[in-house]
């Protein structure tokens, strides 16, 4: 089954169950200026869940384009390292606004997976929140999942991807337990079942998160049952496509195989299994769709995230030996894969190509020299030492290497980076600039990208400038 068919079947199934088809919202959230990017299907319905907004329907379904490359959900560092994470992906979802609750949500999910998609039920594993006996009972007694494949998940045990199966929109407001569905890719892949010490592996892959918004949390942390509980679910299209196409990695699905082949064509690489091709294929989607939604490369905020993703892609191209602009040429291939589902992409292809090309030309001037500096520094580095802050800063300041880009290259070579040292260099430069009176720009403008660069969005979140929804685990 092609991914386009899988998307179609999902939306049709939920429409047949009385859900209204709602188009994907923009990656730039229209209803929340503090959220960096739309990172799940529920974002456009946030106010509907809280009751601040009403819609003419109580059930909705959507295929939502999502980006997780900043804020609370940042999967940028996972791309190229796990089989299941992208910066850009599509989330299929069904939503109940005070209409059906746990029972229907669970039965719908099971019917779709086992009847419509035809998945063998013994490959499916379930997690529920440890106190959620109701959900456990529905899975065990009504659906008939054997008890040993229904796992109660308590508090986060510190594993990198561990989920605590309790969802909340923010510190206060709607919240509730989740139930997640995992697919067992079999003993050939390393990793333990959800909740086990080695759940970080890629054997048991989470495909679907069912969130049961059941409580309202007040400022003191008290939970009051919501008069009309809601349901919010999210299933990654690429992950379920991998399952249905009988492959383990998202990067082996039809859509990605075509993009990877295109990246290979543009970089002259023969080996389609090359990891850099995967990263480039991932990044062309994120970058193109961000530009479609009005983000342009820049030095702060969303624009800086976009610039960082583009530069990472170009660096991977460089690693493959491509020193000339190539990335923008993949836009046409992406349109071939996704233009039908997203006509706005097809309509804006020319503009996207142009923006990317410009950014490629700009960075192309310094990428090669910067790489030479970095290679020399790494060569001279004593074993076990981190890359020093002064080199990080020079690369950032003179060669346009965002610090996460340098860190990513270092990670490939098992070298740590001295981020504190980078901070100190940055502060020194800021003070010198201030003393020289050079940077008398308006507040928020003066070199604004800088803070964003190395503290990442977590700092912005801490400062209350950017908050992100906590979605799922």
Phi–psi pair at 20, nearest 5 degrees: -85, 130
* Candidate list 75, 216, 293, 333; residue touching ligand ATP; CB under 6 A: 75
Stretch that binds Mg ion, among 141-149, 204-212, 425-433, 448-456 (CB under 5 A): 204-212
Contact of residue 182 among Mg ion, ligand ATP, none (CB under 5-8 Å per partner type): none
The nearest distance, CB 294 to ligand ATP, in angstroms, is 22
The nearest distance, CB 425 to ligand ATP, in angstroms, is 32
Query: DSSP of 221-246, one letter per residue?
Result: --EEEEEEEEEEEEEEHHHHHHHHTT
Q: Which residues of 284-296 are buried (b: 16+ CB within 10 A; e: fewer)?
A: bbbbbbbbbbebe
Residue ranges in 4-43 that form contacts with Mg ion under rule CB under 5 A: none
Minimum CB distance to ligand ATP smaller for 89 or for 327: 89
Minimum CB distance to ligand ATP smaller for 93 or for 229: 93
Distance (Å, whole) CA 343 – CA 79: 26
Closest CA to 328 of 306, 350, 356: 356
Minimum CB distance to ligand ATP smaller for 167 or for 363: 167
**Is residue 179 involved in binding Mg ion (CB under 5 A)?**
no
Antiparallel, parallel or unpaired: β 73-74 and 223-236:
unpaired
* Candidate list 209, 250, 461, 467; residue touching Mg ion; CB under 5 A: 209
Give the Å distances, CA to CA, from 342 to 23, 57, 160, 240.
Answer: 10, 24, 33, 20
Residue 390: CB atoms within 10 A of its CB come to: 15
Token pair of 76 as six digits: 């940028």
* Candidate list 70, 194, 297, 472; residue touching Mg ion; CB under 5 A: 472
* Candidate list 19, 58, 59, 68; residue touching ligand ATP; CB under 6 A: 68
Antiparallel, parallel or unpaired: β 59-67 and 20-21:
parallel
**Is residue 163 involved in binding Mg ion (CB under 5 A)?**
yes
Stretch that binds Mg ion, among 22-30, 161-169, 263-271, 424-432 (CB under 5 A): 161-169
Sign of CA dihedral 181, 65, 473, 198: positive
Minimum CB distance to Mg ion smaller for 183 or for 318: 183
Residue 275: CB atoms within 10 A of its CB come to: 15
**Is residue 91 involved in binding ligand ATP (CB under 6 A)?**
yes
**Is residue 333 involved in binding ligand ATP (CB under 6 A)?**
no
Give the Å distances, CA to CA, from 259 to 5, 79, 237, 266, 358.
Answer: 18, 15, 16, 11, 21
**Is residue 425 involved in binding ligand ATP (CB under 6 A)?**
no
* Candidate list 238, 337, 359, 404; residue touching ligand ATP; CB under 6 A: 238
Instruction: Write the interaction track for ligand ATP spanning residues 124-163; mark x where CB under 6 A is met and - where it is not.
Output: -------------------------------------x-x
* Candidate list 70, 174, 194, 473; residue touching Mg ion; CB under 5 A: 473
Closest CA to 456 of 30, 98, 72: 72
Within its chain, how far is the Cα of 455 from the centroid?
Answer: 19
The continuous run of DSSP H or E covering 303 comes out as helix 301-319
Distance (Å, whole) CA 416 – CA 403: 12
**Is residue 251 involved in binding ligand ATP (CB under 6 A)?**
no
Minimum CB distance to ligand ATP smaller for 108 or for 318: 108
* Candidate list 67, 143, 207, 453; residue touching ligand ATP; CB under 6 A: 207
Minimum CB distance to ligand ATP smaller for 207 or for 466: 207
Q: Where are the beta strands (DSSP E) in 345-451?
A: none
Closest CA to 250 of 278, 275, 276: 278
Q: Which residues contact ligand ATP by CB under 6 A? A: 40, 68, 75, 84-86, 89, 91, 161, 163, 206-209, 234-236, 238-239, 471-473
Q: Which residues contact Mg ion by CB under 5 A? A: 163, 206, 209, 472-473
């Amino acid at each position: 089954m092609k991914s386009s068919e899988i998307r179609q079947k999902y939306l049709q199934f939920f429409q047949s169950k009385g859900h209204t088809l709602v188009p994907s919202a923009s990656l730039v959230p229209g209803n929340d200026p503090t959220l960096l990017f739309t990172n799940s299907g529920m974002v456009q319905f946030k106010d509907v869940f809280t009751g601040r907004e009403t819609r003419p329907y109580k059930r909705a379904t959507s295929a939502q384009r999502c980006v997780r490359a900043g804020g609370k959900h940042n999967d940028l560092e996972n791309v190229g390292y796990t089989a299941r994470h992208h910066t850009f992906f599509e989330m299929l979802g069904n939503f109940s606004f005070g209409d059906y609750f746990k029972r229907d949500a669970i039965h719908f999910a099971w019917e779709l997976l086992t009847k419509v998609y035809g998945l063998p039920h013994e490959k499916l594993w379930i997690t529920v929140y440890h106190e959620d006996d109701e959900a456990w009972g529905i899975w065990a007694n009504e659906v008939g999942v054997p008890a040993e494949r229904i796992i109660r998940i308590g508090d986060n045990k510190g594993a990198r991807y561990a989920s605590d199966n309790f969802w909340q929109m923010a510190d206060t407001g709607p919240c509730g337990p989740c139930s997640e569905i995992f697919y067992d890719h079999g003993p050939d892949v390393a990793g333990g079942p959800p909740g086990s010490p080695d759940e970080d592996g890629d054997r048991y892959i989470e495909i679907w998160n069912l969130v049961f918004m059941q409580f309202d949390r007040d400022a003191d942390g008290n939970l009051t049952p919501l008069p009309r509980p809601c349901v919010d679910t999210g299933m990654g299209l690429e992950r379920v496509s991998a399952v249905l196409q009988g492959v383990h990695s998202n990067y082996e699905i039809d859509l990605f195989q075509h993009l990877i082949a295109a990246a290979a064509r543009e970089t002259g690489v023969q080996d389609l299994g090359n990891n850099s091709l995967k990263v480039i294929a991932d990044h062309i989607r994120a970058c193109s769709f961000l530009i479609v939604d009005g983000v342009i490369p820049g030095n702060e905020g969303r624009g800086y995230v976009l610039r960082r993703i583009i530069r990472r892609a170009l660096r991977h191209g460089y690693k493959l030996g491509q020193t000339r602009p190539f990335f923008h040429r993949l836009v046409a291939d992406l349109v071939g894969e996704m233009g039908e589902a997203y006509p706005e992409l097809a309509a804006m292809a020319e503009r996207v190509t142009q923006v990317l090309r410009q950014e490629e030309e700009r960075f192309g001037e310094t990428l090669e020299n910067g790489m030479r500096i970095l290679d020399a520094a790494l060569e001279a580095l004593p074993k076990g030492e981190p890359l020093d802050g002064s080199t990080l800063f020079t690369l950032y300041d003179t060669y346009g290497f965002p610090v996460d880009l340098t860190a990513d290259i270092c990670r490939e070579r098992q070298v740590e980076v001295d981020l504190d040292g980078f901070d100190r260099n940055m502060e020194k430069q800021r003070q010198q600039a201030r003393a020289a009176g050079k940077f008398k720009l308006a507040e928020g403008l003066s070199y604004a990208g800088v803070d964003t660069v190395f503290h990442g969005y977590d700092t912005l979140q801490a400062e209350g400038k950017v908050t992100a929804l906590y979605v799922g685990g």
